[in-house]
Chain A
Amino acid sequence: MPKTPPPLADKLLRFFLADDRWEEVLGDLHEEYRWQVNRVGERRARWRYWRDVLGFMKPWAVKRNSSKYPTPTNTTMLRNYLKIAWRNLLREKGYSAINIVGLSAGMAVAMLIGLWIYDELSFNTYHQNYDRIAQVMENQTLEQGIQTYGALPLPLSQELRTKYASDFKAVAAITEFEQIIAYQDKKFTRFGNFAEADYPEILTLKMLNGNRQALRDPGSVLLAKSTAQALFGNSNPLHKLVKVGNRFTLQVAGVFDDLPHNTIFTSVAFIAPIKLLFESSEDMDNWRSSSFAIFTQLNPGSDFGQVSQKIKDVFRQHTQDKSQSSLFLYPMADWHLYSEFKNGVHAGGRIQFVWLFGCIGLFVLLLACINFMNLSTARSEKRAKEVGIRKAIGSMRSQLISQFFSESFLFVATAFVLSLVLVQLVLPTFNEVADKRLSILWTNPIFWAACFSFILLTGFLAGSYPAFYLSSFQPIKVLKGGAFRVVRFASMPRKVLVVMQFTVSVTLIIGTIVVFRQIQFAQNRPVGYSRNGLINITMNTPEIQGRYDALRNELLATGAVADMAESSSPITNIWSSANNLEWRGKDPNRAAAFGTIAITPEFSDVVAWKVKEGRSFSRQFTSDSLAFLFNEAAVKLTGLKKPVGETIRWHGKDWKLIGVVKDMVMTSPFEPVTPTVFMMNTNERSLNVIHIKLNPALSAHDALAKLEPVFKKFNPASPFEYKFADEEYAKKFAAEQRIGRLASFFAGLAILISCLGLFGLASFVAEQRTKEIGVRKVLGASVINLWGLLSKDFVTLVLISCLLSTPITWYLLTNWLAKYEYRTELSWWIFGVASLGALAITLLTVSFQSIKAALINPVKSLRSE
């Protein structure tokens, strides 16, 4: 007969009872069981046992004791460490605040930059076939070198699709337009694509309604969710008829989810079949018009390099021009970060900014860490006595090490929490400046892993000095009292750290100055035309095209318009180009690219360009329909000595060069002016844009109010939308200005963090030398003397870092500026100003402390001895 209690009851008890109660309770239960077996017999004892066990199913018995350490002495010590850490934090509130705020500011900057970089690197990854999508690009060997273009003829798409079916899973040509989308009385101008049927499949659009194949029906259109909502509200958009560009009535065949902000196609609001743009299928088979982007998706077995080799000459076989066209695939993974080409090969792009900001983030973080370490080591020396006493009482060295580490981890963790709060607060502003939609990646394990490894690293670095150095003191030496000379010995690494910190700060200051000077320089560049009161209106409906004279007369009649003209490109861009111009003395085997712009004769008055030689177009001469105007850059490219009167051959016709105009900055203000040809002939290039010079006598607001009815009359179907030329021009600086703003923001923070560190350090040094200052004052030193004494060290350090940062910035900025054809000079005074600025900031920071120390009455500082 077994006399053990039921094992199942024991298991149950083991399961729910708190670990620390288990032994005594089970012991008691077993003892009771034996007693009961003797008293009432085994059967009833078992019943009782069960009842007793269940009786322990109460909250007080189930609750786990919070301490995991079974021996109480250890928890006492740990509690003591925390208590001491907390007291140290409170005792020197100023230092603690500087320390924690500085570190958390650094962490916040690093976190922001990290998020920014993450966003940049994850660009376009929304598309599921991200790593197999590529755009077909063309390299042309021209007079200017190899140029890379993304615009290709439409039939190329069909050729690739049929002849290379084993390599391409899908090929789709697209073109992009801003179009008016109308449903009943609702009208919006939206950017969208006209595309071949496979396009939605390549992009793996998330369809909310309908399917991705819908474009095979030429009367259908796909809308983005936001557009569908704007048009139809909450009613079902499927099968509703919308009017696109006032020309095509299309049935909504599907709605796709809006593409996220970090994709290149983010602003695509509709996708319509590309066939709509052509009247017949013969029109579509035109190898001479390169105006389509061709996207491909590779089959899983193919790779970009091999397929690029295969398709290299496909276009060349269909074209007669001498540009030695060579096709290649441009993988989607490179679109965003490696968007620049030089001589047919990748020449970087945004990846440079990823590196730049990555480095800045790292440096700012480094600054904050250095500060943190500096201040914590400086303060820890005050605790030499504590170490002595702890050791005398019986602390092991390992215990002291763990004490100092736990302290620095406590600080770093606090700073981390604070930095999360900071980032959350700053993100909206940061997003605005950086044009991003970032948010903290709360659910991303990589983010947390990075944060925690950073906390560990910083905590370890900052804690290592006190942990390993201070804990090695011999208690007898520390406790014997008097001067314990730890300061001199420990100040060398600290000086190195200060120098590093200021080197980074000065570098950032100089960098920021140069970025802004570069922007300023390009902004001051003469543009060659007058932007005052110049607006342009894109003609994206058929109603307004071809009614030039009527429109012009009505506009002039309002009195709000000084003059009006039309052209094929807006003044701030060049939409078309040609590489098949022939002129006297041209190397017959080479080709050169020119911007080509059709204009009406009034254009010259509207934009007020300067005719350098010859004359501008005129309606007086019928021969002007076969005449060219060159800009200076085009003359330079052709090398013609006396350009006016020369004959240029283009598209099988002879064009007479009647004049040369001064260069106008139409494309990037950082690059040389594009060689450009102007013509009156609108058969070659159609007129797309209306330019209006507003009457300067009226305010822009009044003038526009007068214009609106005229456009409403001519073009009732479309909203009256216009762009100011000066605003469009200003947009060309947006990227540089964004960099400038971000750089100055980071530089400001770096300086702030460095100054916080310096401030803390200066006050620490001043405090340590209180007695010395007292003695010096008694012996007759003046306040100026003492101020010099205390500031001298720091000024020397900052001077060293200025000297160090000069060559570094020189090298970095020369490289950065080299990418701009049109750039500012690196003058020596920039370095001088930055150094002086750093010095001034240093003096201000340090003087506050040193003057305060120098003014103390020596009686006070010497009394306590």
Chain B
Amino acid sequence: MKRSYLGEFEEIVLLTVAVLELQKQAYGVAITHEIIEQTGRSVRLNQIHAALDRLEDKGMVKSEMGEPTAERGGRRKRLFTVTAYGRRTLQDIQEVRVSFWSRLLNPLNSIGQRDWGMG
């Protein structure tokens, strides 16, 4: 598998873009809030912008300028969408994980039971 490396944080951002682009809401602030809400991490705006910049460099997302809104002082948003390549990458990662999870299924259950038992 020759995929360009995707960091954990980048993967989350990419997933968030994939989710939010359905509502045309995949831009800096919305992505930040969504990630804070979903993961509970304290994420800052500049980190999201940096991650999006890297993703765009890698060709996993593309962007275009949206409509200006009043709450932004009449400035436009940059709306991101996941490219086909980004989507494939996400799927590949998912498949790899699923295949590992399926092989780990039984040992994990037993560990879980033991933990539970000990608790």
Contact = CB atoms under 8 A, between A and B. Distances in A.
A and B are partners in one complex rather than unrelated chains: yes
A202 B33 CA distance: 82
Interface string B35-61: 000000000111101100110000000
A60 B77 contact: no
A60 B45 contact: no
Interface string A26-43: 111111101100000000
A23 B73 CA distance: 10
Contacts of B65: 23-24
A28 B30 CA distance: 9
B13 to A, nearest CB: 14
B81 interface: no
A24 B28 contact: yes
Nearest to B75: A27
Contacts of A21: 49
B45 A35 contact: no
B76 interface: yes
Contacts of A29: 45
A25 B28 contact: yes
Nearest to B79: A24
B29 interface: yes
B72 interface: yes
Interface stretch (A50-58, A248-256, A701-709): A50-58
Given A24-B77, A25-B28, A28-B29, A34 B45 contact: no
Contacts of A51: 44
Contacts of A56: 46, 49
B49 A28 contact: yes
A60 B28 contact: no
B71 A30 contact: yes
A31 B78 contact: no
The prevalent SS among residues of A at the interface is helix
A69 to B, nearest CB: 16
Contact of B75 (A30, A32, A34, A52): A30
A51 B46 CA distance: 10
Contact of B72 (A27, A55, A60, A61): A27
Contacts of A24: 27-28, 65, 75-78
A58 B44 CA distance: 14
B44 A55 contact: yes
A58 B50 CA distance: 9
Contacts of B46: 52, 55-56, 58, 61
A220 to B, nearest CB: 75
A32 B36 CA distance: 13
Contacts of B44: 51-52, 55
Interface in A665-695: none
Interface in B56-96: 65, 68-69, 71-73, 75-78
Contact of A28 (B45, B47, B53): B45
Contacts of A31: 29, 69, 71-72
A23 B45 contact: no
B27 A28 contact: yes
Interface string A470-494: 0000000000000000000000000
Contacts of A52: 44-46
Nearest to B47: A55
A25 B73 contact: no
Contact of A32 (B29, B47, B68): B29
Given A27-B73, A27-B77, A31-B71, A60 B50 contact: yes
Contacts of A35: 29, 33
A60 B32 CA distance: 19
A60 B52 CA distance: 11
A60 B65 CA distance: 20
Contact of B49 (A25, A30, A34): A25
A4 to B, nearest CB: 8
A26 B29 contact: no
Nearest to B44: A55
Interface in A160-181: none
B76 A32 contact: no
A133 B77 CA distance: 73
A73 to B, nearest CB: 14
A31 B73 CA distance: 8
Interface string A329-362: 0000000000000000000000000000000000
Given A28-B28, A32-B29, A61 B76 contact: no
Contacts of B72: 27-28, 30-31
A52 B50 CA distance: 13
Given A31-B29, A35-B29, A26 B75 contact: yes
A25 B27 CA distance: 10
A55 B45 contact: yes
A169 to B, nearest CB: 71
Contacts of B33: 35
A26 B53 contact: no
Contacts of B78: 24
Nearest to B52: A24
Contact of A30 (B27, B73, B76): B73
A37 B114 CA distance: 48
Most interface-central of A23, A29, A31, A60 (chain B CB within 10 A): A31
Nearest to B73: A30
A687 B13 CA distance: 103
A35 B37 CA distance: 14
B30 to A, nearest CB: 9
Contacts of A27: 68-69, 72-73, 75-77
B33 to A, nearest CB: 8
A32 B71 contact: no
B73 A61 contact: no
A797 B110 CA distance: 99
Given A24-B77, A56-B46, A34 B28 contact: no
Most interface-central of B47, B68, B72, B78 (chain A CB within 10 A): B72
A32 B45 contact: yes
A55 B78 CA distance: 19
Contacts of A60: 50, 53-54
B51 to A, nearest CB: 10
A572 B49 CA distance: 87
A72 to B, nearest CB: 11
B4 to A, nearest CB: 17
A34 B75 CA distance: 14
A21 to B, nearest CB: 8
Contacts of A26: 73, 75
Most interface-central of B33, B54, B73 (chain A CB within 10 A): B73
A55 B77 CA distance: 19
6 contacts: A21-B49, A23-B76, A27-B73, A30-B72, A35-B29, A51-B44
Given A31-B71, A58-B46, 4 more contacts: A23-B65, A25-B49, A32-B29, A35-B29
A-B CB proximity, top 10 nearest:
A27-B75, A55-B46, A28-B28, A27-B72, A24-B78, A31-B29, A56-B46, A30-B73, A28-B29, A31-B72
